[in-house]
């Protein structure tokens, strides 16, 4: 067993020994969805005020359309909070860069698989613009009804602050 | 401003007032990736022992291939922890159900968009099997090198415990 796996088992034993939230229902109690990055420096629960059972958290809007529809149609979400953040890896490369890195590190077969999957890494060069574009994407799809409340935010990894953009 | 947005602003003001982690680097310090569900009842940081800056968290393997490659090739991840959980919404419907719900609730235009996007909601009827299949998927793709350490787990929302499956 790896050190990471041992750490998980120890954390689980400790966490479950005082766990009292086994009664929570599947639909989030506050009926909102938080879409944010998988960045290790973000603690959505603390930084955005989400309590266990409150809300569902996913990735970015284009990538998370599947999660948005499930949350909306099957779990009754009525509001979406979209948060991107400073220092995001997505600001640091282009799709071309990523394709070249895969080919260099993993070889021709992997590069071919990437091409066949037509995988878009969804990088963005401008943070505020990316928040606006993600919100516009949600507005434009017929799969999210117009009465869902939308807002877009930027979390600053340097200060821990979250500010509204749109 | 909605109540949810007000809550986020208040949480942010409180969180950032005592924030001391502005120095953390982009690459996760412990070089592992946690793939788990967006379910509101899961607190990955506490339940799986992830500290701020430790690891990146995403969704499920097929859906998160983009995140896996970024984490691996650009951020130096060397281990993947995959966690699915009991009481998951994905156990409760089929793609056919979801398509019918969208058509009923959002109308013909939305149903057409869903079809055009060829969206797979990735539901699964058997939890343990789904964990094994996701790990098999990661093993099968050339886009994740063979030396990445893999393990698959089930988190029990009823008890707070996480147990290893594969």
Q: Is B166 on the interface with A (CB under 8 A)?
A: no
> Can you give the pLDDT at residue A165?
95
pLDDT at B59 over 70: no
> Can you give the pLDDT at residue B56?
65
**Residue B85 known to bind ligand:** yes
DSSP-derived letter for residue B54 is S
pLDDT at B58 over 70: no
Contact across the interface for A45 and B47, Cβ inside 8 Å:
no
CA distance A78 to A150: 9
CA distance B130 to B165: 10
Q: Please write the tens of the pLDDT for every residue from B107-132.
A: 999 999 999 999 988 899 999 999 99
CA distance A43 to B97: 34
Q: Which residues of B touch A157 (CB under 8 A)?
A: 22, 24
Look over chain A and give the mean of its residue pLDDT values, rounded to a whole number: 88
Q: Which residues of A touch B108 (CB under 8 A)?
A: none
**Predicted confidence band of residue A48 (pLDDT cuts 50, 70, 90):** confident
Q: Is A94 on the interface with B (CB under 8 A)?
A: no
Distances (CA, A) of B128 to A122, B84, B89, B92: 31, 9, 15, 15
> Can you give the pLDDT at residue B110?
95
Give buried/exposed letters for B28-62 (b at 16+ CB in 10 A, else e): bebbbbbbbbbbbbbbbbbbbbbebbbbbbbbbbe
**Predicted confidence band of residue B44 (pLDDT cuts 50, 70, 90):** confident
Contact across the interface for A41 and B21, Cβ inside 8 Å:
yes
Query: How much is the average pLDDT of A106-124?
Result: 93
Contact across the interface for B109 and A70, Cβ inside 8 Å:
no
Q: Please write the tens of the pLDDT for every residue from A5-46.
A: 999 899 999 999 999 999 888 777 778 888 877 777 888 888
pLDDT at A90 over 90: no
Order of strands across the sheet with A79-85?
Answer: A55-58, A32-36, A79-85, A149-155, A162-164
Q: Residue B33's Cα: distance from chain center in Å?
A: 10
Q: Is B51 on the interface with A (CB under 8 A)?
A: no
Q: Is B137 on the interface with A (CB under 8 A)?
A: no
Q: Is A165 on the interface with B (CB under 8 A)?
A: no
Q: State the nearest Cα–Cα gap between B121 and chain A, in angstroms.
A: 6
E strand or H helix that includes residue B97: helix B95-106
Of B52, B67, B109, the CB nearest to A38: B67
CB atoms inside a 10 Å sphere around CB A9: 17
Cα nearest neighbour of A111 on chain B: B143
Query: How much is the average pLDDT of A104-114?
Result: 95
pLDDT at B62 over 90: no
Q: Is A54 on the interface with B (CB under 8 A)?
A: yes
Look over chain B and give the mean of its residue pLDDT values, rounded to a whole number: 88
Domains located in chain B, CATH noted: 30-90+125-164 (3.40.1050.10)
Query: How much is the average pLDDT of B3-15?
Result: 91
A94 contacts: CB under 8 Å, gap ≥ 6:
A123
């Amino acid at each position: 067993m790896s050190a990471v796996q041992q750490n998980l088992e120890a954390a689980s034993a400790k966490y479950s020994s005082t766990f009292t939230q086994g009664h929570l229902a599947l639909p989030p109690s506050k009926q909102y969805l938080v879409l944010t990055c998988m960045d290790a420096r973000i603690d959505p629960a603390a930084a955005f005020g989400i309590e266990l059972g409150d809300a569902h958290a996913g990735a970015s809007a284009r990538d998370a359309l599947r999660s948005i529809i499930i949350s909306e149609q099957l779990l009754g979400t009525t509001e979406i909070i979209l948060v991107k953040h400073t220092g995001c890896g997505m600001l640091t490369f282009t799709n071309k860069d990523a394709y070249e890195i895969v080919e260099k590190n993993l070889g021709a077969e992997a590069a071919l698989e990437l091409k066949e999957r037509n995988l878009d890494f969804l990088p963005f060069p401008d943070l505020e613009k990316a928040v606006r574009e993600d919100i516009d994407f949600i507005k434009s799809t017929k799969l999210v009804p117009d009465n869902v409340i939308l807002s877009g935010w930027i979390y600053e990894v340097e200060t821990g602050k979250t500010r509204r953009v749109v």
